[in-house]
Amino acid sequence: MIFHSPAYLLFLAGVFVLSACAGRRRWAVLLLASAYFYVSLGSPHLTVALALVTGMSYFAGIGLTRCATETGRKRLFVLGVVANLLVLVFLKYLPFLSNALNALLGFVSPAVSVPEPGILASIGVSYYVFQAVSYLVDIYLEVQEPERHPGYFALYLAFFPKLLQGPIERAEALLPQLRIPYTFDYDNVRAGLLMFSIGLFKKVVVADRLAFVVDAVYGDVHAHAGIPTALATLFYAFQLYCDFSGYTDMALGSARVFNIRLTPNFNGPYLATSVADFWRRWHITFSRFILDYIFRPLQMRYRDHREYGTALALLLTFLVSGLWHGAGWGFILWGLLHGTYLAASVFYRPYRKRIYDRLGWEDGAGRRIWQGTATFCLVCFAWIFFRANTVSDAFYAVTHLWDIRGAAPFFVTMGTKLAIGTLLIALILAVDVLHGRMDLVSRLWAMPRWRRWAIYYALLLSVIYRGADVAVDRFLYFQF
């Protein structure tokens, strides 16, 4: 079941009641609920994959503390990480492998073929495999003790609010919370339901509406050029942000109801003043993972090459980032673009302050707007490769961005959707700007009751009245 469905709300309420009554066995109720949640997706192999990753990581984690020699310890660590990554590689590349196998079988016997799994064949796997890898790395580095209770460990990986799209939780952040005895906390329930509602709004009201324009252009890139493509890319930037951050809000809200605080994954990413700053604000748990477990080791290994070593480490890290998102050249090019942006900044950064000083441009609102705009343009340019159906579509879009012919019919057919989308984007940006300056939730709680409930009803009605056409009935980041 998906978050924005009535079935999920009933499920959440039921699990809340049962877990509240379960006392010390709360972990078992949450674990069974998480298993049911995953099984409900209708892909049995996913449950097997989760069980396999859980078992391998649990025993590897304990084994790391019992190894007699450092060599044995290192071998077990490598084995555990590689085994987990193999599960991810096998499931993520399953469609590609079945297509390749069918192509081969077509030469041998056209009547024979293997089933072709759909795009959701690996849903959730990318996230909990990375989480398991981070667990093993932290134990190997001796900054984390292994969890010896199999139930708590299984729940750490499978906890249903974060199972399908993260956040990728560190053991030190989540495991202790799972052990805390439950007591009803009205503030947490209230905050959780509010976060969930905001996430729902972002997903069904904003993201799904922006998708109309995005899909119209990217569904037939060659029929559009210039301004329509640029607008569709801008809309896609916010569609993806609202879709993913909307899911994250719903995940955090669901967990909060159980007094569990998951790690926020977004912090106003389009307010970033550099690409490095963007990655501190976008998919935060994933960027921390690649920073701590890929970039830092590579940077240390190549440190004798100074800036060139750091630049190479960044390129390789973001190549991995692209591959994590999918087995496609579009994702790889997207990752390499970000790697190139960051690698270039290694060389450019020492001169940046001098350039601004020479231009007499002090650190103020004007400079931040310029930096923010430039960063947003760079990020959007990379999104073209991320969103386009094929690499050739992406290159067509990129090479025709300055083509203004044929823009008028687009505005005629999409005028209303563009206008509504623009207003929604402005709303999202305004909330992000305000959220960076004040605690909006505390302000909400401090409002008079009538104003608070007016906002609640506005959220609810906007979610209910989202229109008959639903462009995207699932979350975009399910596919990664």
Partner 1 sequence: MISERLKQVILKTLELDDFDFREETIAGDVPGWDSLSHVKVLMAAEAEYGVRFKTVEVLRLRNVGDLQSLVDRKVG
**Most distant CA pair in the chain, distance:** 73
Q: 225 CB contacts (<8 Å, ≥6 apart)?
A: 400, 401, 403, 404, 405, 406, 407
**Measured from the CB of residue 313, what is the shortest distance to partner 1 in angstroms?**
9
Residue 159 near residue 30 (C-beta atoms within 8 A): yes
Which amino acid would we find at residue 131? Q
Return the number of the residue (145 or 215) whose C-beta is nearest partner 1. 145
Q: Which stretch binds partner 1 (CB under 8 A): 138-146, 153-161, 238-246, 355-363?
A: 138-146
**Measured from the CB of residue 373, what is the shortest distance to partner 1 in angstroms?**
22
Return the number of the residue (15 or 275) whose C-beta is nearest partner 1. 275
Residue 231 near residue 418 (C-beta atoms within 8 A): yes
**Measured from the CB of residue 431, what is the shortest distance to partner 1 in angstroms?**
25
Q: Which stretch binds partner 1 (CB under 8 A): 82-90, 160-168, 261-269, 342-350?
A: 342-350
**Measured from the CB of residue 295, what is the shortest distance to partner 1 in angstroms?**
7
Q: Is the peptide bond before 264 cis (omega within 30 degrees of 0)?
A: no
Q: Which stretch binds partner 1 (CB under 8 A): 148-156, 158-166, 221-229, 341-349?
A: 341-349
Q: Which stretch binds partner 1 (CB under 8 A): 94-102, 124-132, 136-144, 420-428?
A: 136-144
> Is residue 321 a contact residue for partner 1 (CB under 8 A)?
no
Return the number of the residue (314 or 418) whose C-beta is nearest partner 1. 314
Phi, psi of 407 (to 5 degrees): -80, -30
Residue 137 near residue 160 (C-beta atoms within 8 A): no
Contact string 278-307 vs partner 1 (x = CB under 8 A): -------------xx--xxx-xxx-x----
* Ramachandran area for residue 464 (φ above 0: left; ψ -120 to 50: alpha; else beta): alpha
**Measured from the CB of residue 143, what is the shortest distance to partner 1 in angstroms?**
6
Return the number of the residue (43 or 144) whose C-beta is nearest partner 1. 144
Q: 421 CB contacts (<8 Å, ≥6 apart)?
A: 209, 210, 212, 213, 235, 238
From the list 390, 70, 417, 13, the residue with the least C-alpha distance to 193 is 13
Nearest 5 degrees, angle CA 11-CA 13-CA 14?
65
Return the number of the residue (188 or 299) whose C-beta is nearest partner 1. 299
From the list 378, 314, 317, the residue with the least C-alpha distance to 346 is 314
Nearest 5 degrees, angle CA 424-CA 393-CA 385?
60
Size of the site for partner 1 (CB under 8 A): 17
Return the number of the residue (142 or 187) whose C-beta is nearest partner 1. 142
Return the number of the residue (222 or 296) whose C-beta is nearest partner 1. 296
Q: Can you tell me the distance from the alpha carbon of 101 to that of 124, in angstroms, rounded to the nearest whole number?
A: 24
Return the number of the residue (276 or 444) whose C-beta is nearest partner 1. 276
> Is residue 143 a contact residue for partner 1 (CB under 8 A)?
yes
> Is residue 349 a contact residue for partner 1 (CB under 8 A)?
yes
Site for partner 1 in 263-282 (CB under 8 A): 276
From the list 386, 397, 7, the residue with the least C-alpha distance to 217 is 397
The rounded Cα 182 to chain-centroid distance in angstroms is 29
**Measured from the CB of residue 342, what is the shortest distance to partner 1 in angstroms?**
8
| Overall residue count recorded for the chain in this entry | 480
Structure tokens at 360: 């007499």
**Measured from the CB of residue 306, what is the shortest distance to partner 1 in angstroms?**
8
**Measured from the CB of residue 271, what is the shortest distance to partner 1 in angstroms?**
18
The number of beta carbons lying within 10 Å of the beta carbon of residue 7 is 10
* Residue in 346, 378, 414, 418 binding partner 1, rule: CB under 8 A: 346
Q: Can you tell me the distance from the alpha carbon of 104 to that of 348, in angstroms, rounded to the nearest whole number?
A: 49
* Token pair 């707007």 in the structure block, residue: 369
Contact string 192-231 vs partner 1 (x = CB under 8 A): ----------------------------------------
**Measured from the CB of residue 356, what is the shortest distance to partner 1 in angstroms?**
16
**Measured from the CB of residue 363, what is the shortest distance to partner 1 in angstroms?**
13
* Residues near partner 1, by CB under 8 A: 141-143, 276, 291-292, 295-297, 299-301, 303, 310, 345-346, 349
